[in-house]
Amino acid sequence: MMISSRRPRVNQEAFCFICKHIIKYLAGVYIKAYSARAILSRGKDMYRMISGGEPDRMIFPGRGFNKKLLVRPDGAEIMTKGKTGGMPLLMIPGLGGDSECWGGMFPRKLREGGIDPAVYDPRGLGQSSSGSREPSISLYAADAAAVLEDRAPGGAVLGWSMGASVAIGLALYRPDLVTRLILCCGTGDHGMLVRRNPEVFRPILDREAPVAELASVLGSMLLPLDQRGNTSFSRAFLSVIRDSFVRHEEGIRSQQKALAACPPAMSRLHEISVPVLVIMGDRDLLIPPREGENLVRDLPDARLEILSGGHGLIYERPAELAERVCSFLSLPGKDSWSPCPAGG
């Protein structure tokens, strides 16, 4: 039996067709894997800063970082994080936010401007315990005052969303501790907002609704506007927020209760004498820019900056937001600071 040494003839057109589809398939697999990784990485980086290593290392690169538990009079243990070397800035997160909610880019840009952020987990969130006291904005403000005094004495305070209400309470409760105030996407009268826009706020304040629903409502407000049409990104981003809210339901319910009972601060804003920077997003669906105008109207020494974006400016415009904060903190005036060299 003779065995032919000739190779079987392959239809060149069919071969090219097969190779083309194999390459297309492999490229699709790679792109999907890369996109999924990028989506999850960015989603986590933007909300919990999980991508690219340990969250703490993203806020506090280099040496000098440390964690510390502050024990409050009611037994609550507040986890604080920070390092020294630059201009101290206490950052107070919004509803459901903890020390990892600031995204990677915003703190990094602050540090490049010579600012050392001090962050913490509000009671009942992250690594902080709840304590025994009834939740209120005044209680959260007292906690923030303790963190400020310990971590950033003589520093400025930044409050985002609900954190802006806490920052206002802090400035009224301990004016001796606050040198400058930055209110980002905040308001001085939550009750008025609820009455004006009940379809938006009532789901956020409804403590009977599943916490996953609250996460979806609030997450949709934080979702970057340029990603709202990106289904994969949106799904990953909202999943990160939902998982965090479910894990910290007790602390979030306490915050809801405090927010619902938050007294209007507008009548006392004239008592805040330090310079204040109010920053709002021009397309914020939760707290519209007019709330910033109301704050500036009643604060003795305030200026308003309106950036392009929604409620999640720290995710949408981190570099621009950091630049405005750094510029404000370097302005001459009462108890002003001079920025240290980047990374100082």
Predicted confidence band of residue 92 (pLDDT cuts 50, 70, 90): very high
What is each CA distance from 101 to 95, 231, 310, 331, in whole angstroms?
Answer: 10, 22, 16, 27
| Average pLDDT, rounded, for the chain | 81
Residue 12 has pLDDT above 60, yes or no: yes
**Residue 102 half-sphere exposure, CB side, CA atoms within 13 Å?**
33
Instruction: Please say whether the beta carbons of 60 and 82 come within 8 A.
Output: yes
Predicted confidence band of residue 25 (pLDDT cuts 50, 70, 90): low
For the ranges 56-60, 88-92, 231-235, 319-323, the lowest mean pLDDT is seen at: 56-60
Q: Is residue 154 left, alpha or beta, with left meaning phi > 0 and alpha meaning psi from -120 to 50?
A: left
Residue 229 has pLDDT above 60, yes or no: yes
What stretch of H or E contains 183? Answer: strand 181-184
Residue % of the chain over a pLDDT of 70 = 76
Q: Which residue has the higher pLDDT, 179 or 191?
A: 179
Residue 245 has pLDDT above 60, yes or no: yes
What stretch of H or E contains 294? Answer: helix 289-298
Q: Which residues contact residue 65 at a Cβ distance below 8 angstroms, ignoring those fewer than 6 apart? A: 56, 57, 81, 82, 83
The residue type of 235 is R
**pLDDT per position as a tens digit, 118-155:** 999 999 999 999 999 999 999 999 999 999 999 888 88
- Predicted confidence at residue 336, as pLDDT, reads 46
Give me the domains of the chain, ranges plus CATH numbers.
Answer: 39-329 (3.40.50.1820)
Interatomic CA distance for residues 129 and 139, integer angstroms: 14
- Predicted confidence at residue 97, as pLDDT, reads 92
Residue with tokens 């950036």: 307
- Predicted confidence at residue 104, as pLDDT, reads 79
Q: Which residues contact residue 263 at a Cβ distance below 8 angstroms, ignoring those fewer than 6 apart? A: 137
